[in-house]
Amino acid sequence: MSFSSNRIYRMQNPIQNYAWGSKEAFRQMYGVANPEHLPQAEIWMGAHPNGCSTLINEHGETLRLDAFIQQDAAAVLGDAQANFGELPYLFKVLAAAEPLSIQVHPDKASSEAGFAAENAAGVPLTAAHRNFKDPNHKPELVYALTPYRAMNGFREFAEIVSLLQGLSLPALQAEIEAFCQQPTDETLKALFAASLRLQGDARRETVTRLLATAQHHQDKEAFAEVLRLAAFYPEDMGLFAPLLLNVITLQPGEAMFLYAKTPHAYLQGVGLEAMASSDNVLRAGLTPKHMDIDALLANVDFVAKPAAELLMRPMVLGPISDYPIPVADFSFTLVNLSAEAIASETSTALILFCLNGTATIHAGADTLILSAGESCFVPAAAVSFAVSGEGQLVQIGSR
C-alpha cells in the first residue's frame, strides 16, 4: 500500500446518524445514498477519533487519515504539527431537520482541566455523563447552504427585559424581577440557572404558562420560536431560551462565528461547519441527554452579543473570500472557480471541499476531479497546488 506524504488524496468521509438529522438533505444536495432511510446529521472531514476520514489512492486502496498522519506527522501536517501537534480542525456538512440541543463549548483552559479531572476520576470516554471528551476548545464557524435558523449568544439586556416584562412565571418570578430591575451578568446568570434547575410540577407549570403567553404574542419572533420548539420538546425548559438568546436566520452564503462559552443552538437548515477538532459539549436544554448544570454555568460568559454583530464578513480578493477567523486552529476560504487555474502554496495540511459544480485539483503529478460534495486532503509536503473548474471550492486549513 502506497501513500506518500507529498501527494494529494480523495477522501471518504463518515456520516453521523444523529436523531435530529435530515433523511433527504445529503441525497438531494450531494447524491449521498441513504438506503436505510436513516437521519443523516453530519458528514465529518478530519482525523477526530469519533469520526475519522479515510484516504483513497489511485489504486483504490484506503488508509485512515489518522494513520496517514502518524506515518510522518511533520511532513503531512507541516505548521499544524509545529503549532498544535495534531490536525487541529474538523470540517462538517450539517443537516438539521430538527433542533439541536442548546449547548456551550468550554474554552481551551477549561477543556484541558476538565478532561484531566474526568480522566483522573476514571470516567469512561463513552460515558453518557462525561462532559469533556478531549482537551480542546471548540470555536466554530457556520456557513449557510440553505436558510439556516439558529440561536447564538445572549440578546442585548434591554431586549431581554422587554420580552420578560409582563411575563407571569411564579417559579421564576423573583429572578425575572431581579434581572428586569438590574440587568447585569450576575442577575442574568441567576435567571438562566434557575430556569435550568426547575423540575417536576414547577417546570410543567412554568412551561404551560410560557406557552400560553407565547400563543398571545406569536407576532414577536422570540415567542414564535418558543412555539416552534415546543413541537419537538413540549416540556423542556430550553423553551425559555428564545427570550434570552438571539434568534437568527442565516441566508445562503451568510456565515457567523460561535465563540467559546457562548450558548447556541442550530434549529433547522443545511450548512458547513468549520471548527477546532473537539467534541466537547455542555448542554443547556432542548435535549433528553445528560446536563451538568454546575459545569455549564462555570463555562458560560453572561455577556450580550448583539444580533447585528453576529454575521461574519469575508475579506474578498478577486475570486477568493477569506473569513477572518479569530483563532489559529482553522481557516475558512471560499474560492470561486473558473477555467483559469488559481495557484496556491501551503505550509500546513488542507482539506478542499467542492461546494458546487466541479473542481479540478493539480498538485505535482496528481490530478483529482471533485464533484459537488466530494473532498480531498492536501498534505503540507505537497507544497503547491492549483485549482480550476466551475462552481465553488472551500479550503480549510490552520493559520
Could you list the beta-strand ranges (E) of 222-341.
Answer: 245-250, 255-258, 264-276, 282-283, 315-317, 320-322, 331-337
Backbone φ and ψ of 25, nearest 5°: -60, -45
Could you give the count of Cα atoms lying within 13 Å of 333 in the half-sphere of its Cβ? Answer: 19
Phi and psi at residue 222, in whole multiples of 5°?
-65, -45
**Residue linked to cell 446536563:** 291
Catalytic residue among 10, 155, 283, 313: 283
Q: Which amino acid is at 141?
A: L
Cβ neighbours around 282 below 10 Å, total: 26
User: Cell 493539480 appears where?
Assistant: 362
Q: How many CB atoms lie within 10 A of CB 294?
A: 8
Distance CA 162, CA 176 (A): 11
398 backbone dihedrals φ, ψ, rounded to 5°: -110, 160
Asked if 22 and 270 touch (Cβ cutoff 8 Å), the reply is yes
Q: Amino acid identity, residue 264?
A: H
Task: Output DSSP code: residue 101.
Answer: P
Cβ neighbours of residue 12 closer than 8 Å, sequence gap 6 or more: 53, 54, 55, 56, 62
8 within 8 A of 385, measured Cβ to Cβ: yes
Q: Is the dihedral of CA 318, 319, 325, 331 positive or negative?
A: negative
Distance CA 137, CA 108 (A): 4
Q: Which of 84, 53, 12, 65 is nearest to 348 (CA)?
A: 84
What number of other Cβ atoms are within 10 A of residue 116's Cβ?
Answer: 12
Contact 323, 314 (CB under 8 A): yes
Active site residue 283: yes
Q: Which residues contact 205 (CB under 8 A, 6 or more apart)?
A: 170, 171
Question: Which residues are annotated as catalytic?
Answer: 283
